[in-house]
Amino acid sequence: METAVKTKWNLDTAHSEIGFKVKHMMISTVTGHFEDFNATVATESDDFKNANFDFVASIGSINTKNTDRDNHLKSNDFFNAEAYPEMTFKSTSFDGEKMIGDLTIRDITKKIELDVDFNGIAVDPYGQTKAGFEITGTINRKDFGLVWSAVTEAGSVVVAEQVKLVVDLQFIQE
């Protein structure tokens, strides 16, 4: 039996971003992203169905445009970047719209479901074939051991448990 040839795609980091949003004190939203990350895709088809997505981000590269907050996020109250320097995701299925996979943060792995907009394939002016994806989802940070919490004088939670993921990825065909 012949095995289908997988096409490998590498991340175009200049045109990709791994972002997140979380409510702060229930009245505003803090956004952030990871500066240092990488991803690959292996697929047998142009629609990317059943493709294998692999992703890794360096926790130490978290950036919310506030050094004190970033240092707090890197501490043991949240990610503990020293002990757990990477966050990883490996897809287990992709039907073209929904991606299911294993997200690992702080050595805790949970199955998550993400919504995917596959924006298609295009050839850039330099002859490189590229594919673009917009990926969104929501996770509960406490599922991954990010349990720090505080309550304001008025009784509002300082950091919401639900974190929205906003991921824009562009890949270059190898």
**From the centroid of its chain, how far is CA 150?**
25
Per-residue pLDDT of the chain (174 residues), as tens digits, is 556 789 999 999 999 999 999 998 878 899 999 999 999 999 999 999 999 999 999 999 999 999 999 999 999 999 999 999 999 999 999 999 999 999 999 999 999 999 999 999 999 999 999 999 999 999 999 999 998 887 777 777 788 899 999 999 999 999
CA-based nearest residue to 89, from 105, 78, 75, 73: 105
**pTM for the predicted model, two decimal places:** 0.92
Quickly tell me which residue has 């991954």 as its tokens.
144
CATH number of 7-16+33-138+165-173: 2.40.128.110
- What's phi and psi for 141, nearest 5 deg? -60, -30
Taking the C-alpha atoms of residue 64 and residue 119, their distance in angstroms, rounded to an integer, is 27
Pairwise CA distance, residues 121 & 86, whole Å:
29
